Amino acid sequence: MGTTAIFLMMLGWYAGRQPEPADIIMYKVAMNQERAQSMRSAFVYHQSMLIRFKRGNGKIAREEEREYVITPEPKGFKKELTHFAGKYEQGGKFFEYHEPGYQYKGVDIDGGLVNELANSLTNNKDTRDGFGQDPLPLTVKMQHKFSFRLEGKENYRGIEVYRITFKPKKMSLVDCDDDNASCWAGEALIDVHEYQPVLVTSWLAKNIPMAVQILLGTNIKHLGFKVSYKKFDEGLWFPVSYGSEFQVRGLFLYKRTIALSATNTGFKRSDVTSTVSYGLAAIP
């Protein structure tokens, strides 16, 4: 075998050992996500949600527990509320209520905000599962907004993953849904062999300007989201947990620490009676 042939063989071997560029990895993820979204339409499942508002002193101001049954439809999904329990604090006592959107006084900021969060974060009609995609660069539509960097390869809970960080190419705190800009940055753990997301973490790419904080007394700290995924079948990965905790201060007087978590369980094919079950791992 000639020197040139040996060199080409070594070059091919070396190239095969090198990770693919981050944008290529994420493009493959986007292609797989489109197929996974279609496959998810065959499953009915249960969603549990907990939203908790705490005051500046750490005491609970409001809390809601919601249970849903999610059923696929030709376009999107149907979400049926099967259980609801809410409570709010006033004068050192807790009072219960039994329907979403309840407001116990004329200007009830917590009451309006808790319902808006529940709907906007887990009721996205453009998806098969309701989890909002805006902070997550997992689709071709979203990926053009971001630049990606491969940070390395590692083991995450027994799964070999790429760790890829992302940030917006064009920053916008005014409109996170801008077609050409985003306010989100973060990192994604991607299964090395299947090019599926295992855990995606996002956060605001830039803090609220200091001038706004001082003049309006308004700020948001630690806003971000974590979404974890599990594999069910060949090619089928499903988002199984969604979590966020952040602090809000509005117009000097209003201050809350808001925690939201949602889990998907009890998956069952819509055309059969067998149920796919597994143990959920806690969001780190």
Question: Measured between alpha carbons, how far is 161 from 205 in angstroms, rounded to an integer?
Answer: 24
Let me know if residue 97 belongs to a domain: yes
Residue 284 falls within a domain, yes or no?
A: no
Instruction: Report pLDDT for 214.
Output: 42
> Which residues are within 8 A (CB) of 196 and not within 5 positions of it... i.e. 6 or more apart?
29, 32, 33, 36, 190, 229, 231, 237
Helix (H) or strand (E) holding 164: strand 159-168
Q: Note whether residue 134 is domain-resident.
A: yes
Q: What is the pLDDT of residue 170?
A: 87
The per-residue pLDDT for 212 is 41
Task: State the virtual CA torsion across 231, 68, 284, 134 in degrees, nearest 10.
Answer: 80
Structurally, how many domains does the chain consist of?
1
Please give the pLDDT value at position 211.
42
Strand stretches in 11-42, DSSP E? none
Residue 16 in any domain: the answer is: no
Query: Residue 153's pLDDT is what?
Result: 95
Residue numbers of the chain with a pLDDT score lower than 70: 1-19, 122, 124-135, 173-178, 207-222, 251-252, 271-284
Contact (CB, 8 A) for 237 and 39: no
∠ Cα 90 92 93 (to 5°)? 70
Matching residue, tokens 């986007």: 30
Q: Amino acid letter at 142?
A: M
Paired with 93 in beta bridges are 90
Give the N- to C-terminal CA distance of the chain in Å, as an integer: 53
Q: State which residues form the domain around 193.
A: 24-272
User: What is the structure's pLDDT at 252?
Assistant: 59
Kindly report, residue by residue over 249-284, the tens digit of the pLDDT.
776 578 899 999 999 999 888 764 444 444 443 333
CB-based contacts of 213-217 (< 8 A; 24+ apart in sequence):
216/251, 217/249, 217/250, 217/251, 217/252, 217/253
Give the pLDDT score at 93. 95
Check if the beta carbon of residue 138 is closer than 8 Å to that of residue 200.
yes
What pLDDT does residue 210 have?
Answer: 47
C-alpha 210: how far from chain center: 27
Instruction: Decide if 222 is inside a domain.
Output: yes
Structure-block tokens of residue 54: 């705490």
Residue 14 lies inside a defined structural domain of this protein: no
pLDDT (0 to 100) of residue 160: 97
What pLDDT, on a 0 to 100 scale, did the predictor assign at position 64? 96
Question: What is the model's pLDDT at position 262?
Answer: 92
Provide the pLDDT for residue 155. Answer: 96
Q: What is the pLDDT of residue 2?
A: 57
**pTM score of the predicted model:** 0.80
Report the amino acid identity of residue 241: S
Collapse the DSSP code of 9 into the 3-class scheme (helix H, G, I; strand E, B; otherwise coil) and give the result.
Answer: helix
Q: Are the CB atoms for 55 and 255 separated by under 8 Å?
A: yes
